[in-house]
Amino acid sequence: MRETVLGDVTITRIKEYYGSVELSAGTFFPEAQEETWREHESWLAPDFVDAATGVIVSAIQTWLLRSEGKTILVDTGVGNHKERPYSPVWSRLSTGFLDELATAGVRPEDVDLVINTHLHVDHVGWNTRLDGRTWVPTFPNATYLMPRADFDFWNPANGHEPKLGRGNQNVFEDSVAPVHEAGQTLLWEDSHTIDENLRLDLAPGHTPGSSVLALESGTDRALFVGDLLNTALQVVEPDVNSCFCEDPAAARATRRRLLGQASDTNALLLPAHLGGHGGAEVVRDGDKFAIKTWAPFARL
């Protein structure tokens, strides 16, 4: 099963990639000790880490939402044919992502809204597609919602030096700027209400404009948290950051706040990259958190 319904919103999981990201646990999460991974290995492997090699296993996926008659995509993965000289695992891919969308009954022209929770390389790739030698919006009728703080931070003209280094090279030029130049972006600040069921809020730390999409429909709740969690280990060890968090202190505070919110409201937590069942409900466990139950999606 790759689809579930919360209140009046249907959620479908669209996979682009699942497997190694060619980073060891120690490299990706330098704040987590090796013994911490071993302590939790029984449930982290094989969905989130390869126990034999210590390499992180991750999903690149899009959450497809149908709400109030609109078709909405949350994050657009890596994309095809993109030159990523400093992120070789994502360079020049050729995946069946659009076929996966078609299987879910969605053509590119059917999409009304695209939400980029932030503007990292693996969240904006399918914003555009190659038409001859030109990058054009993949979803010609969509409005692309981007946090202004990230739009400004990742614009090369502004000269920022991110922790991702050159890992985002070419991303703004081929996956963000063409959409903006086509007049299809809405750059929002602080918060943005989409409809009666969905609201975007800033959740800075991982990047300056990282955001969370909150779903509240009837008695059901969900939080689409982008890279608030890059691995399920961060549920039980919420102070562990990835090596890509721009503001580590803010990332920890935001993660704890949203894990607390998910626990207190019984919200389904849906990050961008969790393999396995793709998400979970969580509960408080002292000053940390624990998995209550996995999301109702089939394991990848």
- What average pLDDT does the segment 153-177 reach? 93
Question: Percentage of the chain with pLDDT > 90?
Answer: 98
**Model confidence over 269-286: pLDDT tens digits?**
999 999 999 999 999 999
Instruction: Confirm if 150 and 226 have CB atoms less than 8 A apart.
Output: no
- What average pLDDT does the segment 164-190 reach? 96
User: Does residue 96 have a pLDDT over 90?
Assistant: yes
User: Does residue 197 have a pLDDT over 90?
Assistant: yes
Helix H, strand E, coil C: the string for the chain is CCEEEECCEEEEEEEEEEEEEEEEHHHHCCCCCHHHHHHCHHHHCCCCEECCCCEEEEEEEEEEEEECCEEEEECCCCCCCCCCCCCHHHCCCCCCHHHHHHHCCCCHHHCCEEECCCCCCCCCHHHEEEECCEEEECCCCCEEEEEHHHHHHHCHHHCCCCCCHHHHCCHHHHHHHHHHHCCCEEEECCEEECCCCEEEEECCCCCCCCEEEEEEECCEEEEEEECCCCCCHHHHCCCCCCCCCCCHHHHHHHHHHHHHHHHHHCCEEEECCCCCCCCEEEEEECCEEEEEEECCCCCC
- What average pLDDT does the segment 85-90 reach? 94
Q: CA-CA distance, 159 to 196, in Å (whole number)? A: 38
pLDDT value, residue 93: 96
pLDDT value, residue 16: 98
User: Does residue 163 have a pLDDT over 90?
Assistant: no
pLDDT value, residue 35: 96
Return the number of other C-beta atoms located less than 10 Å from residue 128's C-beta: 26
Query: Confidence class of residue 265 from pLDDT cuts 50, 70 and 90?
Result: very high
**Model confidence over 211-258: pLDDT tens digits?**
999 999 999 999 999 999 999 999 999 999 999 999 999 999 999 999
What Rg do the C-alpha atoms of the chain give, in angstroms?
18
What's the chain's average pLDDT?
97
User: Does residue 268 have a pLDDT over 90?
Assistant: yes
Query: Confidence class of residue 54 from pLDDT cuts 50, 70 and 90?
Result: very high
Instruction: Confirm if 56 and 23 have CB atoms less than 8 A apart.
Output: yes
Q: CA-CA distance, 30 to 26, in Å (whole number)? A: 5
pLDDT value, residue 72: 99
Which residue did the predictor score with more confidence, 1 or 203? 203
pLDDT value, residue 31: 95
pLDDT value, residue 166: 87
Q: Which of 77, 71, 296 is nearest to 198 (CA)?
A: 71
